[in-house]
């Protein structure tokens, strides 16, 4: 309840283009509506930081190397933040298509460099059977 109030206040204080884009996105996109509903702080961050800073924070958070469980949690959270920021920036007309695609590419690069490449690099020195388990664990849950 308190989070919803904070989200409403942030939305009313946001620049007009961002506020209009968020309202439009929440009305027409079930995915973005679910992201904002499940975590109202995401909407607050987008309103207060703006899509540029929100996307930059998501990309930066995708870089550090942590345990696999923490990695998956971080990547889920930051992927959702990036999707929200990119959608709002695109709908508001703040970013051209190249910027949206660039942010998505930068995020993918950061995730691979920060989380998956180090794990698979260490598997190059182990037998092939163990190396394939690195790939399976990095990709578990995909396509479900």
Say yes or no to pLDDT of 130 above 60. no
pLDDT in tens, 60-118: 888 776 677 888 888 899 999 999 999 999 999 999 999 999 999 999 998 888 777 66
CA 115 distance to own-chain centroid: 15
Report domain extents, the chain. 2-139
What does pTM read for this prediction? 0.70
pLDDT-derived band at 121, boundaries 50, 70, 90: low
Per-residue confidence band for 2, with pLDDT thresholds at 50, 70 and 90: confident
Report d(CA 53, CA 89) in Å as an integer.
11
Are the CB atoms for 57 and 82 separated by under 8 Å?
A: no
């Amino acid at each position: 309840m308190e989070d919803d109030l904070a989200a409403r206040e942030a939305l009313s204080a946001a620049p007009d283009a961002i506020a209009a884009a968020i309202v439009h996105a929440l009305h027409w996109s079930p995915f973005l509506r679910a992201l904002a509903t499940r975590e109202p702080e995401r909407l607050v961050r987008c309103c207060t930081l703006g899509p540029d800073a929100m996307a930059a924070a998501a990309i930066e958070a995708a870089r550090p190397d942590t345990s696999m469980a923490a990695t998956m949690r971080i990547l889920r959270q930051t992927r959702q933040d990036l999707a929200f920021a990119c959608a709002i920036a695109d709908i508001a007309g703040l970013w051209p298509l190249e910027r949206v695609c660039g942010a998505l590419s930068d995020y993918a690069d950061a995730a691979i460099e920060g989380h998956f490449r180090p794990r698979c690099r260490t598997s190059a020195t182990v037998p092939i059977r163990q190396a394939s388990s690195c790939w399976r664990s990095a990709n578990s849950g995909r396509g479900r």
